[in-house]
Amino acid sequence: MPPPKFQRARKPEEKEIRRQAILEAARRLMDEVGAADLSLNELARRAGVSKPNVYRYFESREEVLLHLWTDETRVLVERLEASLPKVPVGDIARTAAAIVAAYAAQPRLCELSSILAAVLERNLSADALVAAKRTVLDLFIRIGTLLHEKLPSIPVDDCMWASRAIGTYLAGIWPATNPGAVADEVLARPEFARLKPDLERDFKRLIEVLIVGLERANADLRR
């Protein structure tokens, strides 16, 4: 199917349609080639616009990817808002499992999270970064509130901190559990079995340890 051809967008609603079309093309392209190989030239072709037209809506390739990351984070929150209410209050293992399942269902979010600080945020204006941070701050407040509802012994501020810490750990473990072909072959050897990470096992354990540590720390403060 050939890429769509758009006329110049003039009205605000037309510009938003064009902007969303570029983002949707970016999602499809990233799923094919990965974030590292997503180019603005190919993105423009897929979206049916010229490369200069992409710059009318996004200041850089990194801003396109950052918008994908914020959109994916919003979906993550919606997943957690659907799954965490089903978890019994105080059940650490099932809370951790629900969080892991939500992230694992969104490989695009995991990949973008792994390059967020080192790549995406290094080629952005302050205005673009502020807009993204404001959006994500609201989303992490929602996650923190959800965690507090399941883990009422942990203050909501600590739950918000935990949600950020979980995202930071995910950014580290994702590339480790998705290595290149050579590293994957080496790690498959029995002698390196202890070095091979597993996303579900290790991510879940980290979250459980984090929650238990926060519960104990807050219990100590109440004594």
CATH superfamily membership of 1-58: Homeodomain-like (1.10.10.60)
User: Which pLDDT band, with edges at 50, 70 and 90, does 1 fall under?
Assistant: low
Q: For the chain, what percent of residues have pLDDT higher than 90?
A: 91
CA torsion through residues 42, 29, 164, 198, sign? negative
Q: For the chain, what percent of residues have pLDDT higher than 70?
A: 96
The per-residue pLDDT for range 92-119, each reduced to its tens digit, is 999 999 999 999 999 999 999 999 999 9
29 has pLDDT over 80: yes
13 has pLDDT over 90: no
pTM of the model as a whole: 0.89
Domain spans in the chain, listed from the N-terminal domain onward:
1-58, 60-222
Side chain identity at residue 110, one-letter code: C
Query: Which tokens in the block code for residue 42?
Result: 């190919």
CA torsion through residues 130, 133, 135, 137, sign? negative
2 has pLDDT over 80: no
d(CA 160, CA 103): 17
Q: Assign domain 60-222 to a CATH class.
A: mainly alpha
Fold matches, 1-58 and 60-222: no
CA angle 142, 145, 89 (to 5 degrees): 135
Q: Which of 142, 76, 86, 149 is nearest to 113 (CA)?
A: 76
